[in-house]
Structure 1
Amino acid sequence: MTLVNGVTLALALLGAVLGVINTWHALDKSRVKLRIRPKHAIPFGGTDARLNFCIEITNLSAFAVTVEEAGVALDSPDKRLAYTSPVLIDEGGWPRRLEPRTSVTIYGQAPSTNGLRLKCTYATTSCGVTKEGTSPAFRQMAKRSG
């Protein structure tokens, strides 16, 4: 192999690797990415004392998404407890359109599971994508409830 052939081969391999990376990056940009964080809520002031649980939903996508449903998934298949009319501090509407890098926090009562174990929290977008999330606070609540 001559020096010219070696350099040509190296440049061809570099181009192939960069092409794969560029394709992966383009596919990754078109995915819906949400961060779902369940938290304990501490009511204060004139707030309803029953609002002791919240779910923070952050849009990490490169485009806007509309969150239509959020709630808690149970350990039984297809069992979910959705917050149909969540309390929003900013008094905005629900379902909520989230621009890139924005978030919304919904408040409600800690879920009553009727003996089933809590699995995680979830959020579903208008395009049908469901993302799940958990946290140390949620695991603590799940341990207490089940």
Structure 2
Amino acid sequence: MDWIGWTTFGIAVVGATLGVFNAWWMVRRDSVRLRVRLVSLMTLPDGQWTIGIEVTNLGYIPVTLSEVALRRHAYWGKRMVVHSDYFNQVKLPLRMEPRTQITVAAEPNVRGQIKKARCRWCTATTACGVTVRKRFGRL
């Protein structure tokens, strides 16, 4: 093979690599990507500790968050749904723009209920049916 053949082969390899990378990036960009984690919060009026579920939209498309819950198991069993924010800042369902973050705070007495129910997972569900799960440690 002469230098023209090797140059053509090199350009073809670079083009194929860039095509695969571009296809991967487009699929990744158009998917729902959320991060969910359990955080500890203090209520200012009375100084009680409560928990909150922090949800971050990591994707490039807006998503509608429909449910935030605590679960004993990741995929089955009863769940403790956090229906409303204790601080009255978040109302579900909520449209989350790309790169935004919210924290849904539970009632201050929920810590005892979580320990009693032995919940170990926090979940966030979108309107399109995507559920993100995160395991947390002991409270």
Q: TM-score, normalised by structure 2?
A: 0.84
Which residue is equivalent to 1:105?
A: 103
The 1:76–1:111 alpha-carbon spacing in structure 2 relative to 1, beyond 3 Å, is farther
Does the 8 Å contact 2:84/2:91 carry over to 1? no
Amino acid at match of 2:51: F
Return the alpha-carbon distance in structure 2 between the equivalents of residues 66 and 23 of structure 1.
26
- Structure 1, gaps ≥5 residues long: 142-146
- Alignment of structure 1 residues 60-139 onto 2, 5 Å: 60-75=58-73, 77-87=75-85, 89=87, 91-108=89-106, 109-110=110-111, 112=113, 117-134=118-135, 138-139=136-137
SS across alignment from 1:22? helix
* Shift of residue 114, structure 1, vs aligned partner: 7.5
Q: TM-score, normalised by structure 1?
A: 0.81
% same residue: 28
Does the 8 Å contact 1:75/1:116 carry over to 2? no
Which residue is equivalent to 1:7?
A: 7
- Structure 2, gaps ≥5 residues long: none
The 1:111–1:77 alpha-carbon spacing in structure 2 relative to 1, beyond 3 Å, is farther
* Shift of residue 82, structure 1, vs aligned partner: 3.5
Return the alpha-carbon distance in structure 1 between the equivalents of residues 81 and 102 of structure 2.
14
The 1:77–1:94 alpha-carbon spacing in structure 2 relative to 1, beyond 3 Å, is closer
Which residue is equivalent to 1:144?
A: none
